[in-house]
């Protein structure tokens, strides 16, 4: 009798293990998808502007959607790394950093603006301030956003080095202010004589009346940067992954796309962000390799 029970328990264990294996092979299919937005502006503003996105995704995917804005870029990277979010809208550099720590994550869509999947960094200064050209940055402070920001740190820092041979921490003092809007406000208020941020964000701030373009001088623009990628966990169920991809690639509602400041999305893969790794090499930064 003991043998029969043991044998039966063994069969049950094998069946249970087989079930878990099948579920694992199929991938995760949670009832609620946690979608993270890049913390490049005020969190409340980002969540409010993304409400049409939430409604759209809930309808397309038949899932509950939880919108998340982490405190900074680093915490977003860690949340993706440890599976606390399923889908995320990364900046190009923060994606590269996340990929180096979590190779299983995959970019699947990239924002398109004016027909191109690229954007630029804009370098600005006070109109009547001490910085009237990039060369004037020498010996002064320069405002950047988050250290993991592409257009508010990596790209403009690389551009300044190539254009003027001025190196941060050596020839000028980098001041990290966290968000793009904080950089624009700090330059306008004279808290830093010059700084850099995303051109689309800058134009949005001007349009909303949050920054006065008449008080700001444009110093230069970076070369085109691959746009922000949508990224998902690599262990999602294939059918769900396809649904998520289709939802973004087929999005055409202006209110939905407003959350990303893009006209639409197109497909992308990891190789599209090798240019960021090249910038890291130029600046002697270890961005990791996927």
pLDDT in tens, 162-178: 999 999 999 999 999 99
Q: Look at residue 14 and tell me whether its pLDDT is greater than 90.
A: no
Average pLDDT in the 94-114 region? Answer: 93
CA distance 103 to 279: 20
pLDDT exceeds cutoff 50 at 155: yes
Closest of 176, 166, 158 to residue 134, by C-alpha: 166
pLDDT over 70 percentage in the chain: 90
Identify which of 222, 231, 234 has the alpha carbon closest to the alpha carbon of residue 275. Answer: 222
Domain spans of the chain, in order of start: 31-117+226-274, 121-223
Q: Decide whether 31-117+226-274 matches 121-223 in CATH topology.
A: yes
Radius of gyration, CA atoms only, the chain: 22
Position 34 pLDDT exceeds 80: yes
Instruction: Please say if the pLDDT value at position 271 is more than 90.
Output: yes
Query: Which of 262, 258, 256, 193 has its CA nearest to residue 56?
Result: 256
**CA distance linking residue 110 with residue 117, whole number of Å:** 6
Quick one: how many helices (H) and strands (E) in the chain?
11, 13
Can you list the alpha helix ranges (DSSP code H) found in the chain? 2-26, 43-49, 51-61, 73-81, 92-101, 155-164, 180-189, 199-207, 238-249, 254-257, 274-282
- Cα–Cα dist 188/183, whole Å: 9
User: What are residue 176's phi and psi, to 5 degrees?
Assistant: -90, 120
Distance CA 134, CA 160 (A): 7
C-beta separation of 180 from 122 below 8 A: no
Q: pTM for this one?
A: 0.75
Residue 25 binned pLDDT confidence (cut-offs 50, 70, 90): low
Give the per-residue pLDDT at 286.
74
- The CATH number of 31-117+226-274 is which of 3.30.450.40, 3.30.70.270, 3.40.190.10, 3.10.20.310? 3.40.190.10
For the segment(s) 121-223, the CATH number from 3.40.190.10, 1.20.272.10, 3.60.21.10, 3.20.20.70 is: 3.40.190.10
Burial 101-116 (b: 16+ CB within 10 A, else e): ebeebbbbbbbbbeee
Q: Are 273 and 267 contacting, i.e. CB atoms less than 8 angstroms apart? A: no
Answer yes or no: are the C-beta atoms of 160 and 140 closer than 8 Å.
no
């Amino acid at each position: 009798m003991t043998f029969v029970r043991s044998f039966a328990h063994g069969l049950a264990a094998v069946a249970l293990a087989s079930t878990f294996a099948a579920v694992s092979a199929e991938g995760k299919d949670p009832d609620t998808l946690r979608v993270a937005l890049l913390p490049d502006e005020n969190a409340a503003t980002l969540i409010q502007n993304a409400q049409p996105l939430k409604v759209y995704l809930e309808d397309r995917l038949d899932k509950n959607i939880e919108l998340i804005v982490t405190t900074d870029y680093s915490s977003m990277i860690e949340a993706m790394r440890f599976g606390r979010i399923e889908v995320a809208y990364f900046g190009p550099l923060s994606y590269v950093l996340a990929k180096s720590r979590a190779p299983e994550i995959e970019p699947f869509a990239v924002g398109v603006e004016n027909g191109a999947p690229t954007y630029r960094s804009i370098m600005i200064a006070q109109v009547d301030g001490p910085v009237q050209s990039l060369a004037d940055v020498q010996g002064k402070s320069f405002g950047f956003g988050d250290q993991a920001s592409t257009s508010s740190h990596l790209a403009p820092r690389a551009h300044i080095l190539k254009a003027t041979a001025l190196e941060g921490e050596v020839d000028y003092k980098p001041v990290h202010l966290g968000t793009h809007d904080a950089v624009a406000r700090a330059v306008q208020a004279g808290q830093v004589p010059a700084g850099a941020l995303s051109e689309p964000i800058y134009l949005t701030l001007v349009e909303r009346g949050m920054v006065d373009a008449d008080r700001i001088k444009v110093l230069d623009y970076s070369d085109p940067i691959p746009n922000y990628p949508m990224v998902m966990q690599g262990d999602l169920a294939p059918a769900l992954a396809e649904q998520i991809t289709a939802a973004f690639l087929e999005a055409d509602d202006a209110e939905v796309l407003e959350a990303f400041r893009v006209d639409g999305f197109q497909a992308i893969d990891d190789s599209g962000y090798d240019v960021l790794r090249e910038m890291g090499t130029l600046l002697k930064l270890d961005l990791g390799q996927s």
